[in-house]
């Protein structure tokens, strides 16, 4: 298990009624300890799929994000770049571009569309398939899938696509072709909550592989 795994789900104990619905929907099960008066999460085993957040009708589950640190950094004038997912158009219908305007007004150094990085990831897949002819390729942009394989199905690790994620491709391209942005923090954990279908967004950073 990677020591870099950070908690991405938390239990708000005041709201938890110990109904165990979260356990019933959790694909891992034993990452949730239901032996006490409130449930507790074993973060080392949680794959961050977010199923428990949707299932908990008592709003006792939340994703852990770095919104406060992000806003504080912007407020202090830290140099940052934003990598925005196309899903923002669904979360903010008709207003997605206003998010870019707001980010710029708060001092964001640059804003990139992660769809660009997705094109680079596809190219990495094609290069890998052409060069190695693997019998199976498991796409890796879903951090929950990567965490699940890493933790519970390590025999599948050789089949994970040896490619950077769209996010990392975008960041690498930005730093290569916009040298003035080197040293800026990327806002990869900028939490437009619910924007992404999975919660775990940072888990696979330790698993990024160079296209080979």
Which stretch in 18-26, 106-114, 127-135, 186-194 sits in contact with ligand SF4 by CB under 6 A?
18-26
145: contact with ligand SF4 by CB under 6 A: no
Closest CA to 67 of 197, 187, 194, 199: 187
Give the residue, chosen from 6, 17, 104, 180, that forms a contact with ligand SF4 under the rule CB under 6 A. 17
Pick the closer one to ligand SF4 by CB: 48 or 117. Answer: 48
Determine if 184 is a binding residue for ligand SF4 (CB under 6 A).
no
Could you report how far apart the first and last alpha carbons of the chain are, in Å? Answer: 24
**Judged by CB, which is closer to ligand SF4: 52, or 160?**
52
C-beta of residue 212 within 8 angstroms of C-beta of residue 16:
no
CB 170 within 8 A of CB 117: yes
Expressed in percent and rounded to 5, the helix, strand and coil fractions of the chain are 45, 10, 45
Candidates 10-18, 75-83, 108-116, 172-180 — which segment interacts with ligand SF4 by CB under 6 A?
Answer: 10-18
- Residue 38 CB burial class (10 angstroms; 0-12, 13-18, ≥19): middle
User: Residues in the site for ligand SF4, rule: CB under 6 A?
Assistant: 9, 11, 16-22, 26, 28, 31-32, 39, 41, 46-52, 56, 58, 60-61, 199
């Amino acid at each position: 298990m990677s020591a870099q795994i950070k908690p991405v789900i938390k239990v708000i104990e005041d709201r938890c009624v110990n109904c165990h619905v979260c356990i019933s929907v959790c694909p891992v099960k034993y990452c949730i300890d239901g032996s006490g008066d409130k449930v507790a999460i074993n973060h080392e085993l949680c794959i961050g799929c977010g199923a428990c957040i949707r299932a908990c009708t008592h709003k006792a589950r939340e994703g852990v994000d770095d919104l406060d640190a992000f806003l504080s950094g912007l407020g202090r004038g830290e140099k940052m770049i934003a990598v925005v997912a196309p899903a923002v158009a669904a979360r903010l219908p008709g207003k997605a571009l206003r998010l870019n305007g707001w980010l710029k007004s708060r001092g964001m150094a640059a804003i990139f569309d992660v769809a660009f990085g997705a094109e680079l990831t596809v190219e990495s897949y094609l290069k890998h398939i052409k060069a190695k002819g693997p019998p199976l390729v498991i796409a890796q942009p879903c951090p929950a899938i990567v965490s699940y394989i890493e933790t519970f199905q390590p025999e599948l690790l050789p089949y994970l696509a040896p490619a950077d994620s769209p996010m990392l491709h975008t960041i690498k391209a930005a730093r290569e072709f916009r040298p003035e942005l080197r040293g800026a923090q990327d806002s990869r954990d900028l939490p437009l909550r619910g924007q992404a279908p999975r919660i775990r967004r940072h888990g696979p950073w330790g698993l990024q592989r160079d296209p080979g």
